[in-house]
């Protein structure tokens, strides 16, 4: 049953007694709007209306979550701070003798938010306040970038992946239950005893290549035997998912050498499993020198207000630019704005993205993203004049050739221009321009050549350079998120990870709302009223008005 905050103040109310919490601090500012920050009735659908003991106030729990991500503390530490930290008592409007609650209540509350699809509650609430206050305009310039984050699972080597994968599959098959162990064959008894009852790393000399190879052979043989057991229960979703996981580990990590012996393959697949604990985390790179294990977090902000409009996990491997169009769609759906311009780094400036922003969306979006600068501009493809209508290409020295139709690696039509070897050999740029030992220079267009050439020309203008400077603001916002612990993933599983990102982003947005309201001398309480007025009961409307 829904529990509510008490409107009646206590004699030990933290705000009613002298304290040293600065009104200009996040805690002091939060205290002034805590009555309007969240509402119990907003989340009443998550509780039984007429049965059970009253719950902890969901509005209070939301406030605790915000402070937990602000101070980057555990559930147990968060509860202790509600009892002993005067800053938290002031921020949450708690009495000095507040008894606290069991730390597991926070975990239960997060699960309830996920079960009822309310993980975006605080994030969307504060964006709506920013819209109502006029901080976020109806048409926005969106700044976008990604930052690396560590996964919550342990990174495991191939031997451990196979061992833990078999244990997980045997458990999914039910062999941890006593009733499933009756009448087992000797082979199955061995598998259950080795990988389920006594899951330990093999006692071998791991510095000896021969012993490692022998152990790998044993693990692969046993893994195939466990997979054979799983074929009898393919109608079970958990068995199918775990069986696929073990099959992928075998496929990605194990190869057969020329002698027919099993070996751990060199190199890694982009989506290689690195943890059975959290199979969704992968190896990733933000640069050639910076490798990480986990995910990337995509952050999109409004250039005018500096508020975060979207924050979500994306795969560690692959291009950041693939998430551009889904991000635009989410921002327009949840923030109820129109994205008129996007500014991002070179990862977002692909031809596909430029074409989609110009034609595929419901309205054109101006994409500002730099293209890679050529190492030798005088002989780069961009130095060739390509006439798409006439299907001709002219090199920097004035030689013109006709093109022929071709296809790129994805089967899309392109044009190919080949210059004769004897003509190229007489050119003073020959050694820099031609790298073939027998042919002349060949130039291939891109399927989106028109968009890329227009972008390259625009990149040379002062207007582009002036507008692109705004992109650094999203990097500062990412640094703020990192200071509040977003780089350390707390939970396993995509839904819980997404909740962490959204609530950390909501907390950072609340900080920004305080700053914007102070800069513009705006009453933030009045702005917080506006997104709530539609659809509330007359009694609650009167309560909100009285609070202001």
Looking at residue 373, its pLDDT comes to 86
Average pLDDT over residues 250-275: 83
Q: What are phi and psi of 299, to 5 degrees?
A: -125, 125
Residue range 501-531, pLDDT digits in tens: 999 999 999 999 999 999 888 878 777 776 6
Cα separation, 433 vs 297, in Å, equals 40
Indicate whether 242 pLDDT > 50: yes
Q: What is the DSSP string of 322-371?
A: GGHHHHHHHHHHHS--EEEEEE--GGG--HHHHHIIIIISSS--EEE-PP
Cα separation, 327 vs 118, in Å, equals 19
Looking at residue 537, its pLDDT comes to 47
Using an 8 Å Cβ cutoff, are 197 and 171 in contact?
no
pLDDT band at 238 (very low <50, low <70, confident <90, very high): confident
pLDDT band at 268 (very low <50, low <70, confident <90, very high): confident
Kindly state the tokens that stand for 520.
């513009």
Question: For the chain, what percent of residues have pLDDT higher than 70?
Answer: 94
Looking at residue 480, its pLDDT comes to 96
Predicted model pTM: 0.88
Average pLDDT over residues 490-510: 96
Indicate whether 548 pLDDT > 50: no
Looking at residue 9, its pLDDT comes to 61
Indicate whether 85 pLDDT > 50: yes
Looking at residue 27, its pLDDT comes to 95
Sorted by where each begins, the domain ranges of the chain are: 14-120+495-547, 158-264, 381-448
Q: b/e string for 408-421 if b means 16 or more Cβ within 10 A? A: eeeeeeebebbbee
How many whole angstroms from its chain centre is CA 304?
A: 23
pLDDT band at 5 (very low <50, low <70, confident <90, very high): low
Looking at residue 174, its pLDDT comes to 87
Give the CA count within 13 Å in the CB-facing half-sphere of 86. Answer: 12
Q: What are phi and psi of 341, to 5 degrees?
A: -150, 145
Element spanning 144, H or E:
strand 139-150
Residue range 130-154, pLDDT digits in tens: 998 899 999 999 999 999 999 999 8
Residue range 47-72, pLDDT digits in tens: 988 888 888 999 999 999 999 999 99
Cα separation, 4 vs 6, in Å, equals 6
């Amino acid at each position: 049953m829904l529990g509510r905050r008490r409107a009646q103040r206590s004699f030990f109310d933290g705000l009613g007694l002298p304290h040293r919490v600065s009104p200009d601090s996040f805690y002091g500012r939060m205290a002034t709007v805590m009555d309007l920050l969240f509402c119990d009735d907003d989340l009443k659908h998550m509780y039984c209306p007429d049965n059970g003991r009253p719950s902890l106030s969901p509005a209070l729990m939301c406030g605790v979550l915000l402070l937990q991500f602000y101070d980057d503390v555990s559930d147990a530490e968060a509860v202790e701070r509600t009892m002993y930290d005067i800053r938290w008592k002031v921020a949450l409007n708690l009495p000095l003798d507040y008894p606290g609650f069991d730390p597991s209540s926070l975990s239960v509350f997060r699960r309830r938010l996920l079960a009822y699809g309310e993980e975006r509650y605080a994030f969307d609430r504060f964006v709506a306040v920013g819209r109502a206050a006029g901080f976020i305009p109806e048409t926005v310039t969106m700044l976008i970038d990604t930052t690396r984050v560590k996964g919550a699972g342990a990174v495991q080597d191939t031997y451990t992946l196979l061992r833990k994968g078999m244990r997980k599959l045997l458990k999914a098959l039910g062999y941890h239950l006593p009733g499933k162990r009756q009448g087992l064959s000797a082979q199955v008894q061995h598998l259950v005893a080795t990988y389920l009852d006594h899951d330990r790393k093999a006692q071998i000399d791991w510095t000896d290549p021969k012993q490692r190879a022998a152990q790998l052979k044993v693990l692969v043989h046993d893994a195939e035997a466990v997979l054979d057991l799983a074929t009898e229960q393919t109608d079970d979703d958990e068995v199918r998912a775990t069986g696929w996981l073990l099959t992928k580990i075998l496929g990605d990590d194990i190869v057969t050498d020329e002698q027919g012996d099993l070996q751990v393959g060199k190199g890694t697949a982009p989506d290689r499993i690195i943890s059975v604990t959290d199979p969704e985390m992968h190896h990733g790179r933000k640069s050639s020198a910076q490798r990480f294990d986990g995910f990337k977090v995509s952050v999109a902000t409004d250039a005018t207000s500096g508020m975060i409009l979207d924050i979500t996990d994306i795969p560690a491997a692959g291009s950041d630019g693939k998430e551009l169009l889904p991000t635009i769609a989410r921002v327009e759906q949840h923030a109820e704005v129109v994205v008129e311009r996007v500014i991002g780094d070179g990862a977002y400036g692909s031809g596909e993205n430029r074409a989609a922003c110009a034609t595929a969306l419901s309205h054109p979006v101006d994409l500002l993203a730099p293209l890679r600068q050529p190492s030798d501009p005088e002989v780069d493809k961009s130095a060739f004049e390509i006439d798409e209508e006439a299907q001709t290409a002219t090199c920097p020295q004035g030689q013109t050739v006709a093109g022929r139709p071709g296809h790129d690696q994805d089967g899309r039509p392109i044009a190919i221009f080949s210059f004769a070897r004897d003509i190229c050999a007489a050119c003073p740029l020959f050694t820099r321009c031609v790298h073939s030992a027998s042919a002349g220079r060949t130039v291939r267009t891109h399927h989106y050549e028109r968009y890329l050439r227009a972008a390259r020309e625009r990149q040379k203008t002062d207007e582009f350079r002036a507008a692109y400077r705004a992109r650094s603001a999203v990097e500062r916002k990412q640094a703020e998120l990192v200071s509040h612990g977003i780089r350390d993933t707390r939970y396993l599983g995509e839904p819980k990870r997404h909740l962490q990102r959204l609530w950390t982003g909501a907390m950072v947005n609340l900080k920004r709302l305080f700053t914007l309201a102070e800069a513009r001398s705006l009453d933030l309480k009045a702005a917080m009223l506006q997104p709530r007025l539609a659809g509330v009961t007359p009694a609650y409307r009167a309560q909100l008005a009285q609070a202001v």
